[in-house]
A = this chain, B = another copy of it.
C-alpha cells in the first residue's frame, strides 16, 4: 500500500496546530495557544488533555501572580510522533510518484 497510516491523534486540525506551535516555541501558555489557534477554550482544553494523555506534551499548572497558568511543552515522544506524521503525510502529498 503506497499510503502510510496517519496518527489519528495528530491528524486533527486543532491538535496539529498545537503541536506545530509547540514544536517551534517549546513552551507556551494556554491563552497564547488559544489566541494563536483561534480555538475556543473548551475545545482547546479537551485537545490538550488528549495530547497530554498520549504523552505528546506535558502540562504544568502553576500560577502567574495570583492567576492560574497552564504551560504546555512538547515531549520527545511528541516531537518524534510529529516528525513521523509529517513523513507519513508525504506519501499522500507527493504528486509525482514517478
Contact = CB atoms under 8 A, between A and B. Distances in A.
Among A20, A92, A95: residue with most chain B CB under 10 A: A92
B89 A93 contact: yes
Contact of A38 (B1, B13, B86): B1
- How many protomers of this protein does the assembly include? 2
Taking residues whose C-beta sits less than 8 angstroms from the other chain, chain A's interface range is 20 to 34
Contacts of A37: 1, 3
B96 A16 contact: no
Given A1-B37, A2-B36, A95 B23 contact: yes
A-side binding surface: helix, strand, loop or mixed? helix
Nearest to A13: B6
Contacts of A92: 16-17, 20
A61 interface: no
Interface of A: 1-3, 5-6, 11, 13, 16-17, 20, 23-24, 36-38, 86, 89, 92-93, 95-97
